[in-house]
Structure 1
Amino acid sequence: MKKQFVIGIILILLSTPLGYMSLNLLYANQNLGAGELKPILNGFIYSYMISGILIFSLGIFNKMKN
């Protein structure tokens, strides 16, 4: 249960670097313009943030259950 709290918070805090790394990994061979880069990057960052929030909330629900 404590692991879920910590993993969720770490994932939320590291969502921006993970978003940049994912973008560079998946679109390394493509030349993205400035208009395309920002929405794709925001999508990656928000997806990592939502995953962190869900993991953190699972930890809260498990803590309340016990």
Structure 2
Amino acid sequence: MYRRKHYAKLIAHIVRPGDTLKKVARQYHATPLDLIVANQLQHLELKPGTVLMVPVTKAYYEGHLRF
């Protein structure tokens, strides 16, 4: 059974040529399954230009905020 993590929020990612679920998930400290569930994906192949909603955790923000 898939257990959802606690997410701070969803952010939009526009799929670029060469993007894969694994690559996009890694970029945002998520998992491919997180992306599949958040976007209710039926197919695992991503098409350039598609907007994916990416659930991100506090860990993502801690690594990307600059003061």
TM-score normalised over the length of structure 1 = 0.26
Higher helix proportion (structure 1 or 2): 1
The higher-RCO structure (CA 8 Å, 6+ apart) is 1
Higher strand proportion (structure 1 or 2): 2
TM-score normalised over the length of structure 2 = 0.26
